[in-house]
Amino acid sequence: MTEVERLTITLLAALQRQEFASLKADIDRGMTDLADRRLTDFDADRIVERGKALSVRSRST
């Protein structure tokens, strides 16, 4: 195995660990929100309206 191959494998492994750490942090944040009752029911219409409002606001700045 060449040095470049070893470095590539090492880099990919490091990126994978970083992605897993980020995912775990997101899950932990969600579990904390759930425990603290900071969640609301899924409402697709509310999400669409919020997206439209954010889109209009970002175009005006």
Domain boundaries, the chain: 3-60
Dig out the tokens for 56 from the structure.
């209009």
The pLDDT of residue 18 is: 96
CA 7 to chain centre: 27
The pLDDT of residue 29 is: 97
Give me the tens of pLDDT residue by residue for the chain, a chain 61 residues long. 899 899 999 999 999 999 999 999 999 999 999 999 999 899 999 999 999 999 998 887 6
The pLDDT of residue 38 is: 94
Dig out the tokens for 61 from the structure.
């700045």
